[in-house]
């Protein structure tokens, strides 16, 4: 066992131990805050270990495998951990965001009752364990298992306030839509196993390198695997679940539906890059779908008035960015954007949570002038917004430029134009939120808002500082392996600046009337407000197709299956009723029967002897 | 000679069976059973006599003593039934009717 494997197992085991403790010791769980502190300590320790092994994980990859399903010859499936530069960075990101979000939740969910807070932290620990298991997985099968576990945690945490019908519905919706993609994922890995006989990444990559991988049918397999990523990373057309997932508590949205779980799809595509590289058609598809998703989600974010939903659409949009980079063959650029995006999107969500906590509404049109009331939150929120808009010298600028550069160099002009337009829209809709919520006109109820307690503002400041520091590090050292054309930085900065300026003139200076703007772009406005009818389409499919099918099945069950059984039982009853009359209860009748039977036997025996 | 004995035994057995099947009184049924058993005894004795095998005689002694016991138990049951149901007519003892 190499030096990084044991610590990686410890990172994996700590949150799991916390979850087990909370799950099987009810008094601990019902204690609420104690459970929270336990969970925070576990993930905090995991963060320290993850930070300690990050440098060595970056230098060399280590893998440990244990046989899981034994078979004749090599085991059918193995479990283990794979620590390399990808999983090392993800370990740090996941434990860091988990830790900060769990600390933040101590204050944000402080009003919850003990048992429900304990339940929350049990789910949080389970999520941290599952996500870490996912990124450490050395085989497709193990990845799939943890993939489903994070899906379960997502379902549980979206439906945390399960007494709200909308939250329960959103949880089920998220579960079903992602399952649709997972169906493809599991079919893909099973087909891949049937072709190659292994689930292991290292073996598969070795085959890919030695050109011994059977290429026939590989495109279908990789497309199926990509479907899993489409569902999890909310790519068009399966993006509909993510905005609804905002029904969960805001820290959950920050952790699961912005920074970590939804990036699992991008991680999958990055991890399986050597396999995807063999099928350029699928890569092209990934790129186009990613860019299209980015643009579509950005337009929807422009008309949304719920601050969390704006952020949700921007998450969908940024996931599209990452996927587009992966599709253009620049999986490293996509992964880079994944890491920086994880930081500043968590920052934005937690900032939005602080705002919602203070104002008591999600509607940005009912906020305003919050900067004066809560300057700390305002500053960190603006830092996050600038990073998301891709403004130099913050972390988002460098990763976004790397994404754009890789798409441009792959010669994908169409996706590049879509992504550039998205960059403009991103800056516009984010600063629309900033100007509407933090500046502009004040509203009743916003003047007594105040900054969040230190448990909440601490994580915000840490994330804001990291966003700045990482950006500054790239300013000093350069991005290195991403040689972007010189005009690209100018272009992306110009687009971001134009977006910010446009938002400023529209929502701060009111030089442009938003209503008139909307009427000029009436069709787009109409479509975007109705989410391009995709939700309605899914709903229609559900009503028309699934419900209809279920009714058919129900009819068959009720009248054919049940009918057959009822018929059989009716016949049995009737037969029994008819036969009942033979039993007269009179001993002499029975003796008569016996005598007659013996006589028959004797006659039969005589007849046989003849 | 053996045939006459066997015909006699068959006749006694048939008479006993007829009694068991037709008597309405439980005591009559018991008597029918006695006749059937004695038909068997006649058979055993006859075969023992003509085959020169004493086992048949010994078996007959057993049968007779068991028959005595059987009658004692049977009559006891009849008495108990009479106490409970106030009748010993077989037609009316039909609690097991389906």
- Helices assigned H by DSSP within A64-200: 85-108, 114-136, 140-158, 165-196
Give the chain A residue whose CA is nearest to the CA of B29: A588
pLDDT above 70 as % of chain B? 99
Q: Which helix (H) or strand (E) holds B85?
A: helix B55-85
A447 pLDDT higher than 70: no
Q: How far is B78 from chain A (nearest CA, A)?
A: 14
Which of A583, A587, A592 faces B98 most closely, judged by CB atoms? Answer: A583
A573 pLDDT higher than 90: yes
Cβ-based neighbours of A208, under 8 Å, separated by 6 or more? A274, A275, A277, A278
B36 vs B14: CA distance, rounded Å: 8
- Please state the rounded mean pLDDT for residues A199-207: 85
Looking from the CA of B78 toward its CB, the CA atoms found within 13 Å total 17
The burial class, CB within 10 Å (0-12 / 13-18 / 19+), for A10 is middle
For chain B, counts of helices (H) and of strands (E): 3, 0
- Please state the rounded mean pLDDT for residues A100-106: 89
B2 vs A493: CA distance, rounded Å: 129
A343 vs A487: CA distance, rounded Å: 27
Q: Chain B partners of A592 at a C-beta cutoff of 8 Å? A: 21
SS3 state at A64:
strand
B80 pLDDT higher than 90: yes
Give the chain B residue whose CA is nearest to the CA of A586: B94
Residue A498's pLDDT is: 84
Predicted complex ipTM? 0.83
Give the chain B residue whose CA is nearest to the CA of A588: B21
Helices B2-22, A587-609: axis angle to 10 degrees equals 150
Angle, CA A453 vertex, CA A447 and CA A457 arms, to 5°: 100
- Helices assigned H by DSSP within A255-391: 264-271, 273-276, 280-303, 307-327, 331-359, 370-373, 375-389
Distances from the Cα of A286 to the Cα of A106, A140, A266, A276, A339, angstroms = 39, 20, 10, 10, 20
Contact B57, B45 (CB under 8 A): yes
Residue A479's pLDDT is: 60
A580 interfacial to chain B (CB closer than 8 Å): yes
Q: Enumerate the β-bridge partners of residue A66.
A: A79
Worst-scoring range by mean pLDDT, A13-17, A114-118, B10-14?
Answer: A114-118
Q: Which helix (H) or strand (E) holds A81?
A: strand A77-83
Question: What is the pTM (predicted TM-score) of this model?
Answer: 0.75
The pair of three-digit structure tokens given for residue A591, joined into one six-digit string = 């003796």
Average pLDDT, chain A: 84
SS3 state at A65:
strand
Write out pLDDT tens, residues A361-419: 777 777 777 777 788 888 888 888 888 888 877 888 888 888 888 888 887 888 888 88
Q: Scanning the structure block, which residue is given the tokens 């054919």?
A: A560
Distances from the Cα of A519 to the Cα of A14, A301, A421, A523, A530, angstroms = 55, 17, 21, 8, 15
Radius of gyration over alpha carbons of chain B, in Å? 16
A486 interfacial to chain B (CB closer than 8 Å): no
Which of B20, B22, B97 faces A583 most closely, judged by CB atoms? Answer: B97
B75 vs A250: CA distance, rounded Å: 90
Contact A271, A206 (CB under 8 A): no
Identify the band that residue A607 occupies on the pLDDT scale cut at 50, 70 and 90: very high
CA dihedral A341, A345, A346, A348 (to 10 degrees): 150
pLDDT above 90 as % of chain B? 65
A64 pLDDT higher than 80: yes
A277 vs A281: CA distance, rounded Å: 9
**Best interface-test mutation with B: which of A583, A586, A596 has the largest number of B CBs within 10 A?**
A586
Residue A1's pLDDT is: 46
A472 vs A466: CA distance, rounded Å: 10
A110 pLDDT higher than 70: yes
Which of A1, A276, A10, A278 has its CA nearest to residue A136?
A: A10
Contact A258, A313 (CB under 8 A): no
Which of A438, A325, A423, A446 has its CA nearest to residue A382?
A: A438
Q: Enumerate the β-bridge partners of residue B25.
A: B89
The pair of three-digit structure tokens given for residue A90, joined into one six-digit string = 């993800």
A258 vs A348: CA distance, rounded Å: 10
* Chain A / chain B CB contacts < 8 angstroms: 33
A585 interfacial to chain B (CB closer than 8 Å): yes
Contact A94, A343 (CB under 8 A): no
Contact A142, A133 (CB under 8 A): yes
Q: Scanning the structure block, which residue is given the tokens 């008591």?
A: A360
A388 vs A341: CA distance, rounded Å: 7
Residue B77's pLDDT is: 92
SS3 state at A306:
strand
A576 interfacial to chain B (CB closer than 8 Å): no
Contact A417, A380 (CB under 8 A): no
B21/A592 Cβ within 8 A? yes
Give the chain B residue whose CA is nearest to the CA of A578: B98
């Amino acid at each position: 066992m190499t030096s990084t494997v044991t610590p990686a197992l410890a990172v994996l085991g700590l949150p799991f131990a916390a979850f087990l403790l909370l799950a099987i010791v009810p008094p601990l769980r019902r204690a609420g805050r104690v459970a929270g502190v336990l969970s925070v300590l576990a993930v905090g320790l995991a963060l320290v270990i993850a930070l300690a092994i990050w440098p060595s994980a970056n230098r060399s990859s280590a893998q440990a495998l244990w046989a899981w399903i034994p078979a004749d010859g090599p085991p059918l499936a193995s479990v283990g951990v794979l620590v390399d530069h990808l999983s090392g960075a993800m370990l740090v990101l996941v434990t860091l965001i988990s830790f900060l979000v769990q600390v933040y939740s101590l204050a944000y969910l402080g009003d919850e009752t003990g048992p429900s807070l304990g339940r929350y932290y049990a789910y949080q620990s389970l999520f941290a364990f599952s996500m870490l298991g996912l990124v450490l997985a050395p085989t497709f099968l193990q990845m799939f298992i943890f993939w489903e576990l994070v899906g379960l945690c997502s379902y549980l945490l979206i439906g945390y306030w399960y007494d709200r019908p909308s939250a329960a519905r959103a949880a089920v919706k998220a579960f079903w839509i992602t399952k649709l993609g997972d169906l493809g994922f599991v079919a893909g890995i099973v087909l891949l196993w049937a072709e190659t006989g292994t689930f292991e990444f290292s073996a598969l990559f070795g085959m890919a390198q030695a050109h011994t991988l059977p290429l026939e049918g590989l495109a279908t397999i990789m497309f199926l695997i990509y479907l899993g990523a489409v569902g999890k990373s909310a790519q068009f057309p399966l993006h509909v679940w993510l905005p609804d997932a905002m029904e969960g508590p805001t820290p959950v949205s920050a952790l699961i539906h912005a920074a970590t779980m939804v990036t699992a799809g991008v991680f999958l595509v990055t991890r399986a890059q050597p396999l995807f590289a063999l099928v350029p058609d699928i890569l092209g598809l990934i790129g186009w779908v990613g860019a299209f998703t980015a643009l579509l989600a950005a337009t929807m974010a422009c008309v949304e008035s719920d601050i969390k939903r704006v952020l949700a659409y921007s998450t969908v949009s940024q996931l599209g960015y990452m996927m587009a980079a992966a599709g253009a063959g620049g999986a490293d650029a996509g992964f880079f954007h994944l890491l920086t995006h994880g930081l500043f999107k968590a920052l934005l969500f937690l900032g939005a949570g602080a705002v919602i906590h203070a104002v008591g509404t999600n509607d940005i049109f009912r906020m305003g002038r919050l900067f004066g009331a809560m300057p700390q939150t305002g500053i960190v929120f603006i830092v996050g917004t600038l990073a998301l808009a891709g403004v130099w010298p913050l972390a988002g600028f460098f990763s976004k430029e790397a994404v754009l550069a890789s798409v441009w160099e792959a010669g994908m002009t169409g996706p590049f134009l879509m992504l550039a337009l998205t960059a403009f829209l991103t800056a516009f809709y984010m600063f629309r939120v900033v100007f509407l919520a933090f500046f502009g006109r004040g509203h009743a109820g916003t003047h007594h808002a105040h900054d969040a307690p230190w448990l909440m503002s601490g994580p915000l400041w840490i994330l804001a500082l990291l966003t700045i520091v990482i950006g500054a590090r790239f300013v000093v050292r350069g991005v290195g392996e991403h040689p972007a054309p010189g005009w690209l930085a100018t272009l992306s900065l110009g687009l971001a600046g134009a977006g910010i300026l446009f938002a400023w003139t529209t929502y701060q200076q009111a030089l442009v009337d938003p209503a008139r703007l909307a009427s000029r772009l009436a069709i787009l406005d109409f479509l975007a407000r109705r989410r391009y009818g995709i939700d309605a389409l899914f709903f229609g499919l559900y009503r028309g197709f699934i419900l209809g099918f279920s009714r058919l099945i129900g009819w068959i069950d009720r009248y054919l299956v049940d009918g057959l059984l009822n018929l059989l039982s009716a016949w049995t009853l009737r037969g029994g009723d008819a036969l009942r009359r033979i039993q007269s209860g009179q001993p002499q009748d029975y003796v008569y029967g016996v005598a007659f039977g013996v006589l028959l036997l004797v006659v039969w025996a005589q007849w046989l002897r003849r | 000679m053996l045939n006459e004995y066997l015909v006699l035994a068959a006749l006694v057995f048939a008479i006993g069976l007829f009694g068991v099947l037709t008597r309405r009184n439980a005591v009559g049924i018991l008597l029918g059973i006695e006749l059937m058993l004695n038909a068997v005894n006649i058979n055993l004795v006859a075969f023992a006599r003509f085959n020169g095998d004493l086992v048949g005689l010994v078996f007959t002694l057993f049968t007779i003593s068991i028959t005595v016991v059987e009658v004692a138990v049977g009559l006891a049951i009849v008495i108990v039934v009479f106490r409970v149901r106030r009748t010993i007519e077989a037609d009316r003892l039909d609690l097991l009717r389906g």
